[in-house]
Amino acid sequence: MSSGATPLLRLEAVSKAYRNLRVIEGLSLDIHKGELVGVIGPNGAGKTTLFGLIAGEHRPDSGQIYLGEQNVSHLSASQRCRAGIARTFQIPRPFADLTVFENALVGSCFGTHRAGVDAEDLAASALSMVGILDRANQNASSLTLLQRKQLEIARAIATNPQVILLDEVAGGLTERETVRLVELVRSLNDSGVTVIWIEHLVHALTSVAKRLVVLDKGQVVCDGDARSVMEHETVKEIYLGTDPDVAA
């Protein structure tokens, strides 16, 4: 999709291979400020590698990645975080021996240039946004799965991001918990944060994302409004004989 405005995030012909395995192949993608974009695709489509390339965990073999006007292609993950790119992981990774508040404080201290009261306020605000500020003094190891996922998102929010990458944050949750998480993602986007969300629960994505990007074999094969994408013949062929809610 395109717009007259400069994209917040832009990938230009990005490729990534591991030895002889080409995972991302000449992928170009524009994400604009304020969007909530869902990303789907079959196993092995390159979704997680795409996030790794955007967040700086992997370096592209070719192509460029821009955050606004800044070329971030060769910045480290920590540098990209401070520039405004935050991500979560499919399996939450809290510091189990730290409290919930201390976990969020790690994000605000190391993901921004803030310190002291400013960092503490940002951490508390992030916990409040995700709904677990009342758990601030608990050890992270005592949290339920939903609460660990909320903390994972809070740590990302505490870095004060421009764009946040959510990697299958609904995985393993009950239907009721998924609804709560969807509302959290919606409120995060409503607060002004641009969201890119990989999720195998397509119904969760389409309940909030107006735009879907479909990956297959490391390339964008469909990109548009959610309803049109799910009715596209190419997408139907990719998911032929499978349930889209479990195939991504």
On the CB side of 62, CA atoms within 13 Å amount to 9
Q: Are residues 21 and 127 in the same domain?
A: no
Q: Are residues 128 and 30 in the same domain?
A: no
Is residue 100 classed as helix, strand or coil in its secondary structure? helix
Given 142, 160, 178, the domain boundary residue is: 160
Classify strands 85-87 and 163-167 as parallel, antiparallel or unpaired: parallel
Q: Are residues 170 and 188 in the same domain?
A: yes
**Per residue in 54-87, pLDDT tens?**
999 999 999 999 999 999 999 999 999 999 999 9
Q: Are residues 244 and 188 in the same domain?
A: yes
DSSP letter for 140, please.
G
**Per residue in 93-123, pLDDT tens?**
899 999 999 999 999 999 998 899 999 999 9
Asked if residue 89 belongs to a domain, the reply is no
Tokens of 51: 């996030």
DSSP letter for 7, please.
P
Say what the pTM is. Answer: 0.91
Look up the domain containing 226 and give its range: 1-84+164-248
